Structure 1
Amino acid sequence: MFKLDEFKQLVRDFGDVADFLVIYISEAHATDDWAFGNNVDIKQHRDLSERLTAAQSLVEKDPLCPVVVDEMSNITASRYGALPERLYVLQGGNVMYKGGKGPWGYSPEEVRMVLQKMK
């Protein structure tokens, strides 16, 4: 949620050259586990229903693109090394950009530079 506005600006600026998708994964900063003091109040998901409910809080912030959820086995997060968050640009099934792990390696500005080259 920290850089959601920057992400939304990417969607606005590059929606004509890229399809955007958010995959909601395991909650990295769950309030019943390890949390930032000023973060959203979401507990660790015990089942898919809880993960869907948590993802709804993101949908309500209107990320301007589809939001899907990872399986409870966390297969997507595992395969993409996405915990707690990570940005990717894919083209034709190939990884064109693999961002650093968030929150410190989460850089919408780097994605912007990659997408500008694709325009």
Structure 2
Amino acid sequence: MFKLDEFKQLVRDFRDVADFLVVYVAEAHSSDGWSFGNNFDISQHRSLKERLSAAQILVQNDPLCPVVVDEMSNVSAIKYAAQPERLYVLQAGKVLYKGGMGPWGYNPQEVRSVLQKIK
């Protein structure tokens, strides 16, 4: 959420060359786990219903692209090493860019550079 505005600007600037998708995975900073003081009050998901409910917070902040939710087995998070967060650029099933793990490796400006080359 910290860099959501920067992500939204990417969507606005490159929606003509890329399809954007957010995959909501397990909560990295749950209120009943390792959390920040000024974070959203989201407990670790114990069911898909809870994960869907938590994802609604993101949807309400209008990321300008579809939001899907990872399975409770965390198959997407595991396959893409996406926890707590990570940015990817895929083209024709091939990874063009794999960002660093968030929050420190979450760098929308690197994605911007990759997408500018495609544009």
In structure 2, list runs of 5 or more residues that go unmatched. Answer: none
In structure 1, list runs of 5 or more residues that go unmatched. Answer: none
Work out the CA distance in 2 between the residues paired with 1:112 and 1:82. Answer: 19
Which letter does structure 2 place at the counterpart of 1:94?
Answer: K
Residue 47 of structure 1 deviates from its aligned partner by 0.2
How many pairs align? 119
Normalised by the length of structure 1, the TM-score is 0.99
Residue 54 of structure 1 deviates from its aligned partner by 0.2
Matches within 5 A, 1:34-113: 34-113=34-113
Deviating 4+ runs (over 4 angstroms):
none
Q: Once the two structures are superposed, what CA deviation does each residue of 1:32-63 show, in whole Å capped at 9, x if it has no partner? A: 01101111111100000000000000000000
Work out the CA distance in 2 between the residues paired with 1:112 and 1:18. Answer: 11
Residue 26 of structure 1 deviates from its aligned partner by 0.1
Pairwise CA RMSD: 0.3
Normalised by the length of structure 2, the TM-score is 0.99
